[in-house]
């Protein structure tokens, strides 16, 4: 299977314009869902995939997948491990971006800015590494990263994700649950 060729940023913008960006949570903030590394390489549990899928029906969603490129990020050389070089997101998202390391690409951040998103609801795999790295990148870009605590799992170090959730609360404060998000959408 060949890796999917992603469209230029402008094409993403045109596609996502047809998708409503919900405003919930902090008053007046446009928000979108960021799905981190929910792909075969990381063997996410079925309940995580199903829970994220429930949210994608209600808001614009962006999926990140991590693909190995040793020339960009030395996973194998430094860690003795590497993600797959070809993989796919297990959640159908409106927009998909490939990354080759822990954090999201500049193109991903630019996409959120282009869509005038302010609050990014983050979920996915490896709470204390890739999910946390996404939080730092979003925060540094002036956005409001918010972790969905019941839709994240940690790495093999802490599969429960509790360590990553604690780090998230320490650095960014903002957390929520999928039920709180769905309730606020239904109330709107």
Whether residue 120 is predicted with pLDDT greater than 90 in this model: the reply is: yes
Has residue 26 been placed in a domain?
A: no
Sheet holding 31-36, edge to edge: 95-99, 61-66, 31-36, 119-125, 144-153, 175-176
Whether residue 119 is predicted with pLDDT greater than 80 in this model: the reply is: yes
> What's the CA gap between 103 and 134, in Å, rounded?
5
- Per-residue buried b or exposed e for 4-19, using 16+ beta carbons within 10 Å of the residue's own CB: eeeeebeebeeebeee
Q: What is the pLDDT of residue 28?
A: 58
Q: How many domains does the chain have?
A: 1
Has residue 114 been placed in a domain?
A: yes
Q: List pLDDT tens digits, range 135-188.
A: 999 999 999 999 999 999 998 888 888 999 999 999 999 999 999 999 998 888
Structural domain for 164, as ranges: 31-187
- Closest of 166, 103, 109, 150 to residue 131, by C-alpha: 103
What sign for the dihedral angle of Cα 145, 147, 151, 152?
positive
Has residue 16 been placed in a domain?
A: no
Has residue 73 been placed in a domain?
A: yes
Q: Which residues contact 144 (CB under 8 A, 6 or more apart)?
A: 26, 29, 118, 119, 120, 138, 174
Tokens of 71: 């020339």
Q: Could you tell me what percent of the chain has a pLDDT over 70? A: 85
- CATH at residue 131: 3.40.50.850
Residue 139 CA: distances (Å) to CA of 90, 122, 146: 26, 12, 10
pLDDT (average), residues 30-53: 97
């Amino acid at each position: 299977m060949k890796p999917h060729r992603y469209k230029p940023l402008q094409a993403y913008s045109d596609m996502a314009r047809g998708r409503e960006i919900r405003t919930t949570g902090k008053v007046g903030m446009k928000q979108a869902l960021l799905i981190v590394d929910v792909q075969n390489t990381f063997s996410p549990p079925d309940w995580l995939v199903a829970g994220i899928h429930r949210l994608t029906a209600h808001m614009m969603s962006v999926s990140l997948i991590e693909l190995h490129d040793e020339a960009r990020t030395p996973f194998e050389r430094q860690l003795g491990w590497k993600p797959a070089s070809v993989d796919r997101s297990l959640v159908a998202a409106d927009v998909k971006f490939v990354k080759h390391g822990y954090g999201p690409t500049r193109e991903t951040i630019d996409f959120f800015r282009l869509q005038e998103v302010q609050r990014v609801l983050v979920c996915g795999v490896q709470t204390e590494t890739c999910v946390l790295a996404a939080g730092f990148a979003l925060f540094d870009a002036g956005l409001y990263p918010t972790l969905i605590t019941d839709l994240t799992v940690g790495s093999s170090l802490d599969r429960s994700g509790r360590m990553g959730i604690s780090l998230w609360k320490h650095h960014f404060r903002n957390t929520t649950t999928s039920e709180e998000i769905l309730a606020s959408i239904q109330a709107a």
